[in-house]
Amino acid sequence: MKFVDEAKIYIKAGHGGRGCVSFRREKFVPRGGPDGGDGGKGGDVIFRATEKHRTLLDFKYRQHHMAKNGGHGSGNNRTGRSAADLEILVPVGTIIKDAENMEVLADLSQVDQVFVVARGGIGGKGNAHFATSTHQTPRFAQDGMDGEERWIFLELKLLADVGIIGFPNAGKSTFISRVSAARPKIADYPFTTLTPHLGVVKHSNAESFVIADIPGLISGAHEGVGMGIKFLKHVERTSLLLHIIDISAEPYTDAWKNYTAINNELDCYDSSMLAKPQIVALNKIDLPFVREKAKKEVALFKKKGIILHPFSAVTGEGLDKILNKIVTTINK
């Protein structure tokens, strides 16, 4: 299924029903008077967050969403039927914005959270409402009010506890496939991962947590180089970043340069991202030359005040230590 995390849609609530102009006509009841009923209310447009959807793909193919109008009033003081509300299901983590000024209207970050984005019009009053002692035969009624309508911009930010960042081909997808049931595409060329992937991790006796595999960054991503930073918004909500480093192939053979380059891209995107705790891990120590170089890299990072965790996503060596560190950090 194609991953879509942005969509622009038009929504329109239902109009209120028209009030009725009617007069009572019954045998033996002369001059029965006005009995026009009110119009029914138009349907609201409501967004509801659900775990059944993981993407905004549906909104790419259906951009117009309109609730039904309220029914018209009728004689004998009968009120028109109110229209049912139109409920639109969106993934948990969807942000609703006004498309004109990009003002945030709602952030649906919890399951079954709802937001009324457009209210239906109120039904018009029938002529029975306008009868007075001096005007006993009103021959007019109100039209129903128009429902609200607007263009809405939807933006999905995935909800995860841990976000995996790093250069392309660092082993992020292998890591998430090793520790969870997620099965992202894995291959020996850059940018294998083209969309974010979520995985649920259950480690030891700790509560399960959600981890997100973010497509790889490269230097200059904030300027649109490579895949740019379009997917970094999906780690904005995470409480922890797992920074995976690979020094097995050119041009990324310097661990410290790799670390600082990725953090520079985070800073250029949103400086508050650097405030998130990071667990830094060196992958592919199953390769002899990487294992040999790892000792020097661990010592260098230690001088900088950073703990570097060597591991192998392929063999599983060192994974438990990283998962223990993640669990400890999340539960602080």
Is the distance from CB of 157 to CB of 236 less than 8 angstroms? Answer: yes
pLDDT at 193 over 60: no
pLDDT at 268 over 70: yes
Spatial neighbors of 268 by CB under 8 A, at least 6 apart, are: 222, 229
pLDDT digits (tens, 9 = 90+) for 51-92: 888 788 889 889 999 999 999 999 989 999 999 999 999 999
pLDDT category of residue 190 using cuts at 50, 70 and 90 = very low
Element (H, E) at 256: helix 255-269
Q: Where in the chain is the domain with CATH 3.40.50.300?
A: 162-330
Q: How many other CB atoms sit within 10 Å of the CB of residue 164?
A: 28
The domain defined by 162-330 folds into: Rossmann fold (3.40.50)
User: What is the Cα–Cα distance from 115 to 86, expressed in whole angstroms?
Assistant: 12
Report the CATH superfamily, name and number, of domain 6-156.
GTP1/OBG domain (2.70.210.12)
pLDDT digits (tens, 9 = 90+) for 170-182: 888 888 888 886 5
User: Which pair of tokens denotes residue 272?
Assistant: 């508050």
DSSP state string for 100-138: TT--EEEEE-STT-EEEEEPPPPPPPPGGGG--SS----
For 270, how many CA atoms within 13 A lie in the half-sphere containing its CB?
13
DSSP state string for 212-227: EEPPPP-TTGGGT-TT
Average pLDDT over every residue of 256-262: 92
Q: Where in the chain is the domain with CATH 2.70.210.12?
A: 6-156
